[in-house]
Chains A and B, each alone.
Chain A
Amino acid sequence: MPIVAPAESAPGPGPDFPHTTGRVEDARLLAGRGRYIDDLPVGPGTVHAAILRSPHAHALVRRIDLAPALRSTGVVAAYGGRDIAAVLDAFPTIVRKAPPYRAVATDRVRYVGEPVAVVLARDRYAAEDGIAGIDIDYAALPAVVDPDLACRPDAPLLNDESGSNVVWRQQYRYGDPAGAFDAAARVVSLSLTFPKYNSTPLETYGVIAEYLPESDGYQVHSNFQGPFSLLPVMARALRVPENRLRVIVSQDIGGSFGVKAMIYPYMALIAASARLSGRPVKWIEDRAEHLLASSSGTDRKSTLEAAVGSDGCIHAIRVNIRENVGAYLRAPEPSCVMRSLTTFCGPYRIEHGEIDACCVLTNKLPTGLNRGYGGQQHIFSLERLVDRVAAEMDVDPIEVRRRNFLKREDLPYRTTTGSYYDSGDYVGCLDKLRAAVEREAWQAERQRLRDQGHLAGIGFATGIHSAASNIGYVTLALPPDDRRRANYNAQVRDR
């Protein structure tokens, strides 16, 4: 009998998943048998890197003297920004106006903690001693950290060429927002500030890199979480095709939360150092470096307006976003703005919208992924707005949400921005939450706290949790004409 596997697809959701207690990963981890980046064996001749970082928020680097480091015991090599630039270009980005973002600054530093030199030594202690000896002559420049101040004409410029700290700006219009605002019974507005913060995984960044002269390629071990769309970004900067940059992710990663996507400049830096020195190079970020100079989410200033009907239904919103991406706009930014753009209506039937968004450079740590990536910024904006609508229209905050929610029978629903909401029961979900809060007697608890002299309050928020991103959303950052051009790819600016 011929053996042919029947061509079976996988219709329907499939069988129930077997119940399991604990995780199959746990036994190994709990027994101390995890293999994190710092546990990996290193090859003979491996040297250890320490990174000298700028103490200035904004300064010209006039002169750098590496000689004292090279005289330091155990030091094998020391490289300034220009040395590294001999084998490592600036990282490409889709935003043409963005100033070059390099793994090590060359002639100018733009945030405290920016790498300015790297020292390789027989061990990390010797490497740290080495960087302590490096002498750099800085000429300090005025700094700016607030995105609104950075937008003013008299603000210190991070990028002299463009004449503005606004490196990216796009306006988006969906539906007929002007008509909806003309027809509104009331316009509710507010201005918001969302902070810059991070995720502090237990394990910091780590890289072990080697240059492979036989193939003119690199081998890089790292606790990189992806997205692997950043691999071409690294390969381009290292001037090799993608298949000459072998990335090996350590078997275990001690938390990532988005921040471990932004290890990529260090992967490239350690790889470049390996090439220059002809030695395998290992670098484990310390906690101080991580807090100062790894990555963070963006801080955002925004103003919002809602066109509200007399029944409390929101028909349109206008959003103005000033996104602070720090000292450089680096890939995958400005996706922090894009990620929530096409869900600007949240779970509500808001069919008209206008979004005016820009990314602003300031003298702060550059940004990147942080769990939620734009979601927390946008949900904060939208939910504060909805609470304000409830207050101004004198409607209960839960009731105003119920009125504005898309209903179960409305889904699947194509938002005015093109997102395709698959399914859901927002009213039912919120009712279940309210029932839980009532069952747990939160109102009584709030009253008890108030009776004791505390200030106490109960608040609600709802939101859309989009998942499994379409990489196409990133290109919303480009004008439609640029997006369609076959040759429009991320560019290396200053090769």
Chain B
Amino acid sequence: MPKSGIDDFAHIAIDPSGRIRVQIGTAAAGQGHATATAQIAAAELGVRVEDVDVIDRVDTEVTPWTITTGSYASRFSIVVAAAVRRAAVKLNAQIRAIAAHALDTTPDRLELADGAVHFKERSNRSLSLRQLAGMVQWNRGEFPLHANIQLHVSESYSAPNLASPDAENRVNAAVTYGFMADAALVAIDPRTCLPRVLRYAAVHDVGRAINPQLIRGQMAGGIVHGVAGALYEHCDYDDSGQMLTASFMDYLCPTSAETPRIFVDHHNVPSPFTELGTKGAGENSAMSAPAAIASAVEDALAATGAHIDELPITPGTIWRLLHEAAS
């Protein structure tokens, strides 16, 4: 069967106390999806971030899920975030419709701000979300029976421009394409041949940042992951197939001591194809740092004319390159 697409869902509700509750299912592992989700919902519903509870849970018997559900391929800020935003926009409309009935007006004259429904034109009449939720929960009989009065909505988001590959093996393989420009400054101790990344700079295009602090965290982590691939981490085997790196004594996971001084900035061009203008931010320099560091080591060894065409770059490799050049 041909395959294509990517989609996910969000469910959003006001509980009887007027708090917003958003349910997503991302199988997150520390990325801060709940925080970003709360920000998106808060922005659309005129409440504070701390007034939004986010439940991020996957249980295939209870929560909605799709074949593409999960935390991979930097998809949250594009797919799940869009579903959250759509659900919040829909709930916003629903809230205004209910409030319009209670305030004897029309929804288009209302807006949500500061945890309440207000008239767009100045008026001292307003309805807090708590009052509104309470009315619907406790006094449902006052509302017309046929009316669509729900304080919870579900929305899904399916990304545009995605089809299955054509007969010439052409396919748009992702929803959006960000950009990374990275630089590394490397120093090598001439006696031990030990390379160190002293500084690392990364300027990326993430389209639009939902939460710059979370993205800085992703980029710092991505840079260290890339430093690991360039200089340290290696699942190494001898010729008989025995693993030589089966403990942290030998598998060199970089620590804070191996972490360079990091400079991070953005040069964002919002995506015209994604709901929020966002692009991906999760993989970032984990992909580009190995190349930048190899380039820096080659520059450091420029006098020898050596090429860095193999990773990881170990002191042994550098020693060999220096001695080949000398002889």
Contact = CB atoms under 8 A, between A and B. Distances in A.
A6 B97 contact: yes
Interface string B192-222: 0000001101111101101101100000001
Nearest to B229: A197
A152 interface: no
Nearest to B65: A228
Interface stretch (B9-17, B27-35, B125-133): B27-35
Contact of B292 (A10, A145, A459): A459
Interface in B60-100: 60-61, 65-75, 77-79, 85-86, 89-90, 92-94, 96-98, 100
Contacts of A442: 183, 185, 199
Most B Cβ at <10 Å: residue of A174, A192, A339, A466: A466
B58 interface: yes
Interface in B28-66: 28-30, 32, 34-35, 38-40, 42-44, 48-50, 52, 54, 57-61, 65-66
A206 B59 CA distance: 16
Interface stretch (A72-80, A100-108, A253-261, A272-280): A253-261
Contacts of B85: 10, 14
Contacts of A457: 185-186, 295-302
Contacts of B107: 5-6
A209 B71 CA distance: 22
Contacts of A201: 29
Contacts of A440: 199, 201, 263
Nearest to B304: A455
Contact of A459 (B27, B94, B226, B293): B293
Most A Cβ at <10 Å: residue of B27, B202, B272, B300: B27
B186 A433 contact: no
A319 B175 CA distance: 25
A162 interface: no
A420 B144 contact: no
Nearest to B166: A418
Given A227-B70, A418-B172, A432-B265, A463 B30 contact: no
A143 B241 contact: yes
B167 interface: yes
A186 to B, nearest CB: 17
Interface string A13-25: 1111110111111
Interface in A467-486: 467-476, 480, 483-484, 486
Interface in B238-257: 238-243, 245-248, 251, 253
Most A Cβ at <10 Å: residue of B25, B49, B98: B49
B225 A422 contact: no
A4 interface: yes
Contacts of B297: 457, 459
A4 B276 contact: no
A283 B96 CA distance: 50
A177 B147 CA distance: 63
B242 A261 contact: no
Given A197-B229, A342-B171, A372-B283, A429 B204 contact: yes
Interface in B120-169: 143-144, 146-149, 159, 161-169
A44 interface: no
Contacts of A190: 307, 309
A407 B126 CA distance: 50
B291 A4 contact: no
A373 B161 CA distance: 22
Contacts of B104: 1
Contact of B97 (A4, A225, A227, A430): A4
A430 B181 CA distance: 6
Contacts of A296: 235
A24 B289 CA distance: 30
A395 to B, nearest CB: 15
A454 B173 contact: no
A199 to B, nearest CB: 7
B86 A10 contact: yes
A437 to B, nearest CB: 5
Contact of A484 (B2, B242, B291, B309): B2
Nearest to B49: A20
Most B Cβ at <10 Å: residue of A339, A382, A468, A489: A468
B94 A5 contact: yes
Contact of A417 (B42, B73, B101, B170): B170
Contacts of B74: 465-468
Given A418-B171, A420-B161, A436-B203, A455 B282 contact: no
B241 A364 contact: yes
Interface stretch (A84-92, A118-126, A128-136, A241-249): A241-249
Given A25-B34, A455-B300, A483-B165, A471 B48 contact: no
A226 B72 CA distance: 7
B213 A21 contact: yes
Nearest to A412: B272
Contact of A23 (B32, B44, B71): B32
B326 to A, nearest CB: 13
A6 B100 CA distance: 12
A187 B165 CA distance: 31
Contact of B165 (A226, A372, A476): A476
A420 B203 CA distance: 22
Interface in A170-220: 172, 174, 190-201
A240 interface: no
A17 B293 contact: no
24 contacts: A3-B98, A6-B93, A14-B89, A20-B49, A192-B309, A225-B29, A228-B58, A231-B60, A248-B61, A257-B225, A291-B247, A291-B251, A372-B286, A388-B307, A424-B269, A437-B183, A440-B201, A458-B185, A458-B299, A468-B74, A468-B274, A472-B4, A475-B3, A475-B164
9 cross-chain pairs, A with B, having the tightest CB-CB distances, nearest first:
A226-B70, A467-B280, A57-B241, A459-B295, A418-B170, A457-B299, A457-B300, A459-B296, A143-B241
Given A460-B183, A466-B73, 7 more contacts: A2-B146, A23-B214, A25-B34, A376-B226, A384-B294, A384-B309, A466-B177
